[in-house]
Structure 1
Amino acid sequence: MRKPLAIGLSVLAFALAAAPSSAAPGEKRGGFGRATLTQFAALPAETYLPASEPSGAALGTAPINGITPPFADQPIQGFSGLVRNSDGTFDVLSDNGYGTKANSADFALRINRLGPDFARGTIDVLGGITLTDPAKHIPFALTRPDRVLTGADLDPESITRGADGTYWLGDEFGPYLLHFDRAGRLLAPPVALPGVFAPENPAGTPNLPSSKGFEGLTLSPDGRTLNALLEGTVAGDQPGSLRLNEFSLDDNRYTGKRWIYQLDSPDHAIGDAVAVDRNRLLVIERDSGQGATAKVKKIYLADKRDRDHDGNLDKTLVADLMNIANPRRVGGFGETFTFPFITIEDVVILDDRTLGVLNDNNFPSSSGRTPGKADNNEFITIKLTDSLR
């Protein structure tokens, strides 16, 4: 058995002390310095679940970044959420499949378990669970009669885990909150966000763009509330403003508390969110570029206390993923390491100065690392210049 990562995250409840830096639009002064790459591992793009079912029929038969669909088995891809386990493994959420409701009916939704071996630069797939609805909690018709959930039914993009071991997922088709047991069975009907409707939701007039639902979902340190962050702006809100909604696990309803995360540009999107303490969370903010066109891939520390009273979460730059120091040339890369992917949708706190970050490779569509070649799923760890305490 591999040695687990050294993880010792304590309760982070102290004020942040950071060195001064110049602030970008929407960013508060006092950002951290340049983060350093410490570990690198990758899962090949063409990694499939053995002896599973065919997938990708709606993608056609022409090669995409050198890979020809359809596929004989289910791809292990599209990591859109991450949960750390105590043994050095990680549970990762695969999103809806191939990007749309229309082309993902043969992609079974799944939580996979990964074991990164950073010494070798590889990642093992150690198992996982398929998401199902055997108790018929979902009120609309599903794609499969056996009630295995597919990318045509839901688009889960964020994940967290409660103290009881059950999973909460944030979806984009509702947007909904979804509660699953440890075997992947849905425990209750999807919980809709009051007054907000994606185009895929038949319950109301759409006021949220497609694929802009719950991209960030995090559990409070006391385990009693969820914070769910939309990826897109609700119609009528200020451009580039994203609602962060509080949900009570005790009452199984939204509390009515809401904060605003303001993007640096309305053209940006968020990729993930994870709680640091009861007031602060880390948020990935990105542009839509890849490879040579990728410019903005950042991790911010967002503070609910709004110390400047502008109505938005205060933002402090923690790491610029397009400018990571790599003096030891980890992974065989140069002294400046970049993470130039369209979608970077996973961040996890490993200790008070170390983060784990994964990309969503949008298999087989993204080619941010090498033009014309489908991206692998990359797992990096970075060391921050300042403590999160």
Structure 2
Amino acid sequence: MIDREIVVTEDGAPVGLDAEGIWVRPAVRGQAGGFWLGVEGATGAENALVRVSASGRVQERVSLPDDVAAGLGKWGIEGVAGTVDRDGEHLFVALQRGLTSDDGLGGYARIGRYDVESEEWTWFGYELSEPTADGDWVGLSEVTVVDRDTLAVIERDKLNGPAASLKAVYTVDLPKRDPQPGTVPVLRKKLAVDVLPALRATNGWTQEKLEGLTIGGDGRVYAITDNDGVQDATGETVFLDLGSARKIFR
């Protein structure tokens, strides 16, 4: 049940943001918490991380590096997650598809890590699965922190209904040492859970946009679909309890 809403405002007025990801920010060094939003833009330069207060007021905007933004089309930030520990505050973002400067729109997507204190970006590659149908493409649509060294991502195709073939959660382990500047090492992925059976379990229409993932305070893994506001979609939202995080992310 949805029992509360927060209106995001900027300069005292409501602001429209295509928020594709959200992370609840804990209190950091005396600062109040609030949220980080992963905002997808219509162009590469419009993609941003946006920090808002607990009441929804925009406090900070962080753009992607110019070279990364230049390689994006309309497929940009699709998730945000973060950590706060002895090494400071770090954010992770998933970019939906490959940069034109990397390997076109196929090959691999990027996962970025942003150091909030130093304002530096580090980039990793994620090898995408091959599409199974003409006109289809595969991309990332979420990133979640499992532990200090492990991220979980949603990888999915563009297909729905009986044609849907890839809706899954994978994990990747971050390297112990950061890559050399200017390099983008491709991380090795491991299947954590195939979500297609859960999406098909009610014998209804299989939704396309598996786009939300989190580990709840109860230790269980939850996923949700984007209903796309009934634009070329049925308008249904599917909320899934995928099971124990300890079992899924062994």
With over 3 angstroms needed to count, the CA separation of the structure-2 counterparts of 1:357 and 1:387, relative to structure 1, is closer
| Matching residue of 1:187 | 59
Q: Identify the match of residue 170 of structure 1 among 9, 32, 38.
A: 38
With over 3 angstroms needed to count, the CA separation of the structure-2 counterparts of 1:305 and 1:235, relative to structure 1, is same
Q: State which drifts further: 272-281 or 376-385.
A: 376-385
With over 3 angstroms needed to count, the CA separation of the structure-2 counterparts of 1:186 and 1:363, relative to structure 1, is same
Between structures 1 and 2, the one with greater helix share: 2
Unaligned runs of at least 5 residues, structure 2 = 28-32, 132-136, 177-183
Q: CA deviation at 1:131?
A: 1.0
With over 3 angstroms needed to count, the CA separation of the structure-2 counterparts of 1:197 and 1:261, relative to structure 1, is closer
The alignment yields a C-alpha RMSD, in angstroms, of 2.8
Q: Identify the match of residue 238 of structure 2 among 362, 367, 378.
A: 378
| Matching residue of 2:224 | 358
With over 3 angstroms needed to count, the CA separation of the structure-2 counterparts of 1:383 and 1:125, relative to structure 1, is closer
Q: CA deviation at 1:354?
A: 3.3
With over 3 angstroms needed to count, the CA separation of the structure-2 counterparts of 1:133 and 1:280, relative to structure 1, is same
Q: CA deviation at 1:191?
A: 1.4
State the secondary structure of the residue aligned to 1:233.
coil
Correspondences of 1:156-305 after superposition (within 5 Å):
156-164=19-27, 165-173=33-41, 174-188=46-60, 190-196=61-67, 206-210=70-74, 212-220=75-83, 222=85, 224-238=89-103, 239-251=106-118, 253=119, 255-265=120-130, 267-305=137-175
Between structures 1 and 2, the one with greater strand share: 2
What letter is aligned with 1:378?
V
State the secondary structure of the residue aligned to 2:247.
coil
State the secondary structure of the residue aligned to 2:186.
coil
Unaligned runs of at least 5 residues, structure 1 = 1-123, 136-146, 199-205, 368-373
Would the aligned equivalents of 1:304 and 1:314 in 2 still touch at CA under 8 Å? no
With over 3 angstroms needed to count, the CA separation of the structure-2 counterparts of 1:197 and 1:301, relative to structure 1, is closer
Would the aligned equivalents of 1:133 and 1:148 in 2 still touch at CA under 8 Å? yes
Taking the aligned partners of 2:174 and 2:241, their CA distance within structure 1 comes to 26
Would the aligned equivalents of 2:37 and 2:80 in 1 still touch at CA under 8 Å? yes
Q: Deviations over 1:214-242 (max 9, x none)?
A: 11211125261101121121112023322
With over 3 angstroms needed to count, the CA separation of the structure-2 counterparts of 1:221 and 1:278, relative to structure 1, is farther
What letter is aligned with 2:150?
R
Would the aligned equivalents of 1:215 and 1:270 in 2 still touch at CA under 8 Å? yes
Taking the aligned partners of 1:125 and 1:324, their CA distance within structure 2 comes to 22
- The normalised TM-score by structure 2 is 0.79
Percent pairwise identity = 25
* Structure with bigger RCO (C-alpha 8 Å, 6+ apart): 1
Taking the aligned partners of 2:90 and 2:68, their CA distance within structure 1 comes to 22
Aligned length in residues: 225
Taking the aligned partners of 2:241 and 2:63, their CA distance within structure 1 comes to 34
Taking the aligned partners of 1:241 and 1:364, their CA distance within structure 2 comes to 30
- Could you list the runs of 4 or more consecutive aligned residues of structure 1 that deviate by over 6 angstroms after TM superposition? none
With over 3 angstroms needed to count, the CA separation of the structure-2 counterparts of 1:387 and 1:215, relative to structure 1, is closer
| Matching residue of 1:315 | 189
